[in-house]
Structure 1
Amino acid sequence: MTESPSVDLAAMLCSRLCHDLLSPVGAFANGLELLATEKDSAMRQNCIELLEQSAVISTNKLKFFRLAFGAAGGFGERVAVDEARDLIDAMVADKGRIEVEWAIGEANLAKSAVKVLLNLAQIATDTLVRGGTLTIGAERRSGACEIVVRASGPKIAFDETLGHALDGTLAAEELSSRTAAAHMIHLLAVQDGGQLQFAVEPDALVLGAILPESGDLIG
């Protein structure tokens, strides 16, 4: 029996979440194991610092994925931009060598727009394999929310499969934990008459979204 497309997508998103949490949770487990056997006070302090760091990273990732992938029931129909900014800043800090520039004048955005914004920011961040600059902008005009995320750096690692996921031409057999988030936000956008766009160059990637504000994309 074959799974339904929605079940496949949910499974792939869960795989992505587990993949990203494996490292900090594994480090947490290692730290606990070392703490249980280590007698030297200096080494025990190092273990405690490792545990604290792993706990912070794990918590930040869970907060990010809760809003980026999940229903995020704790939020209203609109989400404060500062909330999204904190989540993205924490995600980028974990990567290192990436500077974030913000160009959002709005105090809040529709929850669906924030979901798209977070996922575009994650996709763009993942392409900056040698570091660089992540520029994030969003504004509401003419009854729609327009989002632009630009990644610029010495090397942009953007697989064309992600592009297919964003523009809706992804073949079913190409759905994976790498492409699931891009495919999800494509579905969210077209559900309410919106669209996603992208343009890639050797040293820059621009991701965009136009999302009508007449109704919420995620219901």
Structure 2
Amino acid sequence: MTIASLELASLLASRLCHDMLSPVGAMSNGLELLTEEKDPEMRQRCFELLEQSAKASADKLRFFRLAFGAAGGFGDTVPLSEPRAVVDALVGGNGRISLNWSLSGDAMPKSAVKVLLNLALIGIEALVRGGTLEIAAEVRGTAEHAVSEIVVRASGPRIAFDPAVGHALDGTLSPDALSSKTAPAVMIHELTSSLGGGLQYHVGADALVMGAALPAA
């Protein structure tokens, strides 16, 4: 599978815009209602909705900046507190998903953090009916032969997992199936492969398990 960098970047941008449309649209609608509403209680409700939409927009922007962009500072590693904070915020507004973390160490390479975040995104999307998202990550081995290992498990009723995303993860996606939905999985497959690592996944009726191993040195 050979994907042009420009095409992949365009689809990732489309994905970001798609996910941002809802909270930004809600803010626009809230401002329009606020200009017309005279009742104090309804105006207060408008302010609350605007605050919620603004927070959702900021949370998604922070997530995508780290998952798709070049965020994380100028060093080669990113403190694990950063991906944890953006995933916590992204899931925080969804009362149907509980989140469990198991992180070893204080930091991981930027490439591993991108993989972790995008696997977490796939896991969140699989839990359309709610459930539990478990994320584990650690760096094993010596400094010269270190490997970043990541496991994301989404468990809940009737897991929703597009087979095309699975093909993107394992590198068998047909070029004509590339879309804004599969682009994040394609990105981390190409990133992982370029580093000599690998991605795996297994999906069942009530659980989706994804794993990654990337050379850290």
Note the 1:55-134 alignment, pairs <5 A. Answer: 55-72=54-71, 74=73, 76-134=75-133
What do residues 19-73 of structure 1 show as CA deviations (whole Å, max 9, x unaligned)?
1000000000011111111111111111111111111000010000001001116
Q: How many pairs were matched up?
A: 211
Q: Distance in 1 between matches of 2:82 and 2:186?
A: 24
Are 2:211 and 1:208 aligned?
yes
Match of 1:174 in 2: 177
Match of 1:158 in 2: 161
- Normalised to the residue count of structure 1, the TM-score between the two structures is 0.93
Query: Identity of counterpart residues, as a percentage?
Result: 61
> What runs of 5+ residues in structure 1 fail to find an aligned partner?
215-219
Q: Distance in 2 between matches of 1:166 and 1:145?
A: 17
Q: Distance in 2 between matches of 1:52 and 1:45?
A: 11
- Normalised to the residue count of structure 2, the TM-score between the two structures is 0.94
RMSD of aligned Cα (Å): 1.2
Q: Distance in 1 between matches of 2:112 and 2:77?
A: 9
Match of 1:8 in 2: 7
Given that residues 148 and 213 in structure 2 are in contact (C-alpha distance below 8 angstroms), is that contact kept between their aligned partners in structure 1? yes
> What runs of 5+ residues in structure 2 fail to find an aligned partner?
none
Match of 1:190 in 2: 193
Are 2:143 and 1:146 aligned?
no
Q: Give the ranges of 4+ consecutive aligned residues of structure 1 lying more than 4 Å apart after TM superposition.
A: none
SS in 2 for 1:76: coil
Shift of residue 76, structure 1, vs aligned partner:
2.8
SS in 2 for 1:95: coil
SS in 1 for 2:93: helix
Q: Distance in 2 between matches of 1:61 and 1:77?
A: 23
